[in-house]
Structure 1
Amino acid sequence: MSVAGTATTNLAHRARQPTRSIRSNPSSLVVEPTRLPAKQPTLAKRLLFPLLPPDASLPPLLITPSAHSELNSELYDFIAIALRAHVNPWWTKITRYDKEFLPHITRILTDVVRVLETRLISTDLSPLVFRDLPAILNQHCIDYRNARSKLLTSYASGGTASLPLLFHQMQSHMAISPEGVVNEEYVRQAVDNILKTCLPSEDYEPEPERFIIREIVVKILAGGVIPRVTQPWFIFKLMLDFLGPESSDDPAPPDVQPTSPDNDSRPTITRATSGHLSFQTIAIFVLSAVRSISGICLTLIHAYKQALETIKKVNESKPLFPQSIPIRPDPFGLGDIKEESSQSTNPVFPGTLDPSTPLPSGTIPPSPPHTRTSSMVSSLQSLPPVVPPPPSPPPPNYTHASLQLISTLLAPPLPSLTSPLTQYSNSVSLALRHVLSMILNLLSPFLSRLLPYLLYTRVFSSNMLCVMVKSARKALFPEGWPAPPPVDPTPEEQIELRKKLERRLQTFIPGPLTHLLGPTPAAVSYTISSMLDPLSSQACNAHLFVFVLDLVLVTVFPEMGVMVEGPVGASDNGSMLSRREGEMTPPRPNSRPP
């Protein structure tokens, strides 16, 4: 019995001994480092730079050393998505193994982007933004109102002409039809001229690459941008997005009260109010007033310091583009315009002495010789003539065109005789507009320096340009592919969208400035509605887009604009030129690209 018990105990002890496995080996207890997943290359690296290592950064696209790296990445993403959407679908059907075609197109686009960057940096865009664009918008509003006033009259071909046709007669353009359809060939010619200017001859002469790049840009502009940005509802939606959503803390109308199904079952709680003010109520009122006043004072102090700092920076900043007097060609062969202007400023009347005409010799008798005075006069006459420095050009006026646009917008057309608005006088609004115009005219020298400073420090900054490129990429290529054709809202939805914008503008304008729009809320609403009327026609908006496109192209590429010479007929402003300087003209048939 004892031997058997001992054997059983030994077997149980052996069974309880832990078995050593391979994992329990001390040499195998070393913790292996976790491997991070490899970083996936971006779309721009995979398509545009297939030979670039995944951890390497993209080469700089812009030549400006201060360009933001995020802007460089956004531009490359935009190019990669555009090439994948418009080149890959048909190029992969031809060959699936070629990886050099898209990088070659990218190299050509890099040259175009860098030339455009150089042009934009060397061009002063302040006249374009603050003088030319407001002038075009002002003329657009005036022509729209004139065309609308001619509806159903004898000026409208017996009342049969539509509003787009009447507007087209006032702003005719070769690139657009009376129905508001932009000619795709005009856009193609403009893009081809840009490529001819930006690309070297060895890149412009080969037709395949040039045609592909040109058609991509034409497809984006004519097929995606123009049909969308000329829609009135799209413009109104952009305005609503810019103004932001309506604040939820707006007070509800007094006649609207929240109702619930169990309001009748709940008893109303009434608080008894005493007839006299307690000390606690007075203290709370005083402390609240002190808090409000201190907050207002702090806001005013901060605004005052910010204004002083901005004024100091504007006065100390030097102009990026020195002003120079432009010398324009004389179309009529009348000599130099500068000489003509100098003579016109100092006219010569009959019977007076012209100082520029030399006197004939012998007119003044010589003085007696051998005198001290004669020697001094002769020494003074031997000195070289002192040429006065040329007069400095006048500072640019960037407020005149904007004031004209504001005056046009704040002066709506007269309502009908049956309208209730005719019984109110607008004398107060007119007086306030004149006062505002006088104040802005007095501040014009400072505003002409402040506006370019804000344009180049706030609008054309790297961060803002990056936001613009990102917004354009998301609008044109949502989810990385071209957006489907926009679905137009129904007429009822468009009317509701415009009414919402009118209400938002009426609440956005500060209270004291509403007197500029009218004496009553009905007059203010009518003025705001009249402001939005010039943008309510797609055909008229297409005319505006084409003129703005011409203006931008001629500003950045002055060689694309020409001036037609010769008395081909008097225009509306009395000029003998059929086209203004800088207006784009159609190319000749022999220069038309295939």
Structure 2
Amino acid sequence: MSRLQPRSKAISTSNLSSQSASANPTTSNVALAPTPDQPLFSAPEKIASGTSTRNLASDPASDRSTIFLIRRTLCSHLGDKGRSTPAPIDEILPPLTSSNEVDLQLYAFIAIIIREFVHTWYAKITPDPVFVEEVVKIIAHCTRALEQRLRKVDMESLLLDELPELLDVHLQAYRAANTSINPPPIQTNSREIYHALWPMPALSPVPDQENGPLSQQQRNNETLYRQMLVQGVLAVLLPTEDLDNDCLTTLVGQIFSEMILGNGVGGKASEPWLLWEGIMKIAEVIKAQISTPKVSEPVLKSPDSVNASESSKRGNILGFPIQKTFWMVLQYAFVGFTALRVLITTLATASALPSRLATNKPNGSPNDSSESQPTFSSGIVPNKRPIMKMKIWSTASHLLDLDFRMPWLSAMISMLQWSSIAGPGGLGNTDQIFDKILSHQIHTHILDSTRLPTLLLTLRTALFPNNTLAPPRTIPSPAEALLLRRKCALALLALVPLKVQTLYLGTSDEEQKIADVEEVLDVFSDSYCNKHLLYSVVELVVVRLMPEMGEKGVEELLEERLS
């Protein structure tokens, strides 16, 4: 297994390790120049180690507590014999990615999973840590291979075109399945209609009742599907000699197929109440970021101010105060001037933005010709759709029922979209000025790799508070789930100004507004239908990362690797 160990990383720049800082006092401020093989994530930083348990931070999400968790779980038997100070973690454990900040968060996930789900039974069999060490090496090999493949994936197309298309299919199938065309008392099974519109072998047959024979058969098929999916991934990513180790591949396959896909994607994540709760929390976070508290101080009115207010009442123009009208006009003029200046500046600098046709690499470097795509004589890359034409726009329109509630606005947006692509100049076409601006904004605000460690940290604190398993969540009753859906609708309405709510929903009745938003959220009210969407998302991501799985079956891949 020594060949799985990659060559050493670059000199670290982190100041968490006092040992590395004292040994290299001049390297902490060295700027790393970008190269054609620049890593996918941010510049690598050395994971600090050698921290003492006496000075551990009280916050379990801090770097010191995370490092202590990793050392205690994965490194207790490595690297410390005959040393006055503990060895750094990145010298003991194999790197998972090209960024040590990302590695720190990923190893925290691995440490918690191994401690809670592997050590509980493996420690009763033998104290030998070699088995866990081999599992960590296999996971590290897979993550490094996935990072290399992730560089070649067109993330814009995946996030803005292919994934929204799956959501659009779910919306149309769910609404068609739950729209009854037969008068009562004739009833139809909405799940059977949905499954017929969007068939998935892993979710066949449609479950009949809680513990019926069809339900058990469906669960068995789903289990086999998850195992085959994970085995196919391991057959592509693992080296040949590791595929021969049935014990290791079985354990790693069970961890991913049952714990992550089974309990996570097919279990909790498909429950309606959990999806509504997640949407509600995201809406609350957005509301907290866009809202600014206004501090009002009491003002004592003097007799002069009272006389001034009385005189201002007499000086009105068509019922509006002169002073208020003046400041309103001045404010709108300032906003218009600022918007015009931003537009002119953006258009002037658009020519210097990187081209979408040069490469698929996130840094937009055109130096690597091995990843560039062939172009036609017109300069358009095959299958490279303009952002204005991607499915994200039509899916948002279908989700909000824009065609039904505001058909004039939907037609206007469609006209503007068509004009930007097929109109004079084709400003919204692939790699044109509007397309470059949108692509630049997406890479700056959405695909910013520096946010990945923070995102992983947030996910870890949500799934494993205090770096341990959270107490089992009480499944809400049907009445509590409906109450949670109502709270989610209120959180979404809080993001929209009151005038926009009234204009879009066509009513000023608060209860009717909440009911309309709940009707939109109702598309996630069936866990069986949600599984179709979530498993389709997993399949799409896997096929984009490993195109071999879209061309060959699992048995064929294993035969090819082991022959």
TM-score by length of 2: 0.66
Any conservation in 1 of the 2:265–2:534 contact (CA below 8 Å)? no
2 CA distance for matches of 1:315 and 1:448? 11
Q: CA deviation at 1:321?
A: 5.8
1:185 and 2:172 are equivalent in the alignment: no
With over 3 angstroms needed to count, the CA separation of the structure-2 counterparts of 1:495 and 1:207, relative to structure 1, is same
**Residues 181-580 of structure 1 correspond to what in structure 2 (within 5 A)?**
183-218=222-257, 219-244=259-284, 278-279=307-308, 315-319=351-355, 322=358, 390-393=377-380, 396-400=385-389, 401-411=391-401, 429-443=406-420, 444-445=428-429, 446=433, 448-511=435-498, 513-514=500-501, 517-521=504-508, 527-562=516-551
Other structure's SS at 1:489 match = coil
Contact 1:224/1:476 (<8 A) preserved? no
Find the counterpart in structure 2 of residue 343 from structure 1: none
Contact map agreement 1:152 1:160 (CA 8 A) in 2: yes
Q: CA deviation at 1:171?
A: 1.0
| Secondary structure of the structure 1 residue equivalent to 2:387 | coil
1:454 is matched by which residue type in structure 2? Q
Counterpart of 2:111, as a letter, is: A
How far 1:404 sits from its partner (Å)? 2.0
Partner of 1:348: none
The secondary structure found in structure 1 opposite 2:104 is: helix
- Equivalent of 2:122 in 88, 91, 113: 91
Correspondence for 1:21: none
- Counterpart amino acid of residue 137 in structure 1: L
CA apart distance, 1:74: 0.8
Q: Structure 1 residues 282, 301: CA separation in 2 closer, same or farther (over 3 Å shift)?
A: farther
| Larger RCO of the pair (alpha carbons < 8 Å, separation 6+) | 1
8 Å contact from structure 1 (residues 134, 405) kept in 2: yes
User: Which stretch of structure 1 is more off in the superposition, 432-441 or 488-497?
Assistant: 432-441
Q: Which residue of 2 aligns with 1:150?
A: 180
Residue 193 of structure 2 is matched in structure 1 by 166
Question: How far 1:130 moved relative to its partner?
Answer: 1.0
Deviations 1:146-188 (A, max 9, x none): 111137569xxx9454222221111110111424857122111
> Match of 2:150?
120
**Structure 1 stretches of 5 or more lacking a match?**
1-35, 252-270, 325-387, 415-425, 563-583
CA distance in 2, matches of 1:183, 1:590: 21
Residue of structure 1 in register with 2:108 after alignment: 77
Q: CA deviation at 1:114?
A: 0.5
Q: CA deviation at 1:94?
A: 1.4
Q: Which amino acid is 1:46 matched to?
A: R
Q: Is the alpha carbon distance of 1:137 and 1:102 closer, same or farther for their aligned partners in structure 2, counting shifts above 3 Å?
A: same
| Cα 1:494–1:130 shift into 2, 3 Å | same
User: How far is the alpha carbon of 1:117 from its aligned partner?
Assistant: 0.6
Change (3 A) 1:291 1:82: farther
Q: Deviations over 1:292-317 (max 9, x none)?
A: 88777777666666666665665422
1:176 is aligned, of 197, 203, 206, to 203
- Using the TM superposition, give the Cα deviation of residue 591 of structure 1 relative to its aligned residue in structure 2, in angstroms: 6.9
1:552 shift after superposition: 1.1
Q: CA RMSD in A?
A: 4.2
What amino acid maps onto 1:316 in structure 2?
Answer: A
Preserved contact between residue 403 and residue 437 of structure 1 (Cα < 8 Å): no
Deviations, residues 161-216 of structure 1 (Å, cap 9, x unaligned)? 42222211111101114248571221111111111111111222211111111111
- How many angstroms apart in 1 are the aligned matches of 2:358 and 2:557? 40
| Amino acid corresponding to residue 119 of structure 2 in structure 1 | N
Q: Which amino acid aligns with 1:61?
A: P
Gap change, CA 1:196 and 1:282, over 3 Å in 2: farther
Query: Is the aligned partner of 1:45 residue 2:32?
Result: no
Please list the CA deviations of residues 492-548 of structure 1 after superposition, one character each: whole Å capped at 9, or x if unmatched.
222122222223323322456447734323575565333222112111111111111
2:150–2:545 Cα contact (<8 Å) kept: yes
Cα distance in structure 1, aligned partners of 2:478 and 2:560: 41
* CA distance in structure 1 between the partners assigned to 2:353 and 2:492 by the alignment: 35
The answer as to whether partners of 1:78 and 1:473 remain within 8 angstroms in 2 is yes
User: Cα distance, 1:280 vs. partner?
Assistant: 6.2
Secondary structure, in 3 states, of the residue corresponding to 2:200?
coil
Query: For the residues of structure 2 that align with 1:491 and 1:592, how far apart are their CA atoms?
Result: 50
- Tell me the SS of whatever aligns to 2:277: helix
Note the alpha carbon deviations across 1:25-69, whole angstroms, 9 max, x for none. Answer: xxxxxxxxxxx97667612123323323565433272553xx3x4
Query: Under a length normalisation based on structure 1, what TM-score does the superposition of the two structures give?
Result: 0.63
Kindly tell me the number of residue pairs found equivalent between the two proteins: 435
Q: 2-side partners of 1:316 and 1:500: how far apart?
A: 46
Other structure's SS at 1:479 match:
helix
1:106 to 126, 136, 142: 136
- CA distance change for structure 1 residues 232 and 197 in 2, over 3 Å: closer, same or farther? same
- 2:4 — aligned with what? none
Partner in structure 1 of residue 166 of structure 2:
136
Structure 1 CA distance, aligned partners of 2:507 and 2:555?
A: 54
Deviations 1:431-476 (A, max 9, x none): 1221122234444435543444334333332332113322332333
8 Å contact 2:543–2:550 — kept in the other structure? yes
CA distance 1:541–1:587, change in 2 (3 Å): farther
Instruction: Provide structure 2 residue ranges, at least 5 long, that are not aligned to the other structure.
Output: 1-51, 57-66, 208-217, 295-299, 314-320, 361-374, 421-427
> Cα distance 1:201–1:455, how it changes in 2: closer, same or farther (>3 A)?
farther
Question: Does structure 2 retain, via aligned residues, the 8 Å contact 1:141–1:534?
Answer: yes
CA gap 1:467/1:37 in 2 versus in 1, 3 angstroms: closer
User: Matched residues in 2 for 1:74 and 1:294: separation?
Assistant: 50
Q: Give the AA of the match of 2:397.
A: S
Displacement of 1:92: 0.7
Bigger proportion of residues as helix: 2
How much identity, in percent, do the aligned residues show?
23
Cα distance in 2 for residues equivalent to 1:537 and 1:52: 51
Q: SS where residue 201 of structure 2 aligns?
A: coil
* Structure 1 residues 225 and 95, CA gap change in structure 2 (3 angstroms): same
